[in-house]
Chain A
């Protein structure tokens, strides 16, 4: 089953913060976050493997709550380059395949 992402879309000004959520009805083994620009392939941001884990990548960080079966992506002091569609992908344990959420379209305005 496809994980659910929220919000579907968000518009913010440069320098503002945003949070994107990803939740699943099934147990999560891993959560992968990607950003895709229009017409391009998804670019890897980060992977979270353990419950309660948090990771950071410059001004982008994420948390993973295994018990709640959800993950959140935090973008702080957003830049114009952050614009794109963000997808979470949930891992199926040892099978290695990812099931992607519906995506969140993020638009950063100057």
Chain B
């Protein structure tokens, strides 16, 4: 299957700082990538769709000015959590579709802890 990487895998930051998370498709090109957030013992909630060459589309209730998404190339999307607060602490996972059936391949996730 296709491989998606994320960096960093874990990050601890102070409240008020910004954190950037990278999502890369390693062996395929992805014009679209998806960003999810998962709180402990809960399901994955789609935050936004990252589109190469155009603006990201955000799900209802997700602040676009707080969660900045940049799809810099066909293999890279970044999510920047600006002015992070403790309530932003979560597991952030990206995915990218690949193949004829457009299977979603997930990155390994980034665990963010805001102190």
Q: Residues of A at under 8 Å CB distance from B?
A: 2, 32, 34, 39-44, 47, 49, 87, 89, 96-103
Contact check, A44 vs B1: say whether CB atoms are below 8 A apart: yes
Distance to closest chain B CB from A56 (angstroms): 15
Q: Residues of B at under 8 Å CB distance from A?
A: 1, 32, 34, 42-46, 49, 93, 95, 97, 101-109, 111
Distance to closest chain B CB from A28 (angstroms): 15
Contacts of A101 in B (CB 8 A): 43
Bound complex: CA A88 to CA B89 (Å): 24
Q: Which of A41, A47, A49, A102 contacts B107 (CB 8 A)?
A: A41
Contact check, B43 vs A98: say whether CB atoms are below 8 A apart: no
A42-B106 contact, Cβ under 8 Å, with A49-B101, A96-B32, A97-B34: yes
Contacts of A103 in B (CB 8 A): 42-43
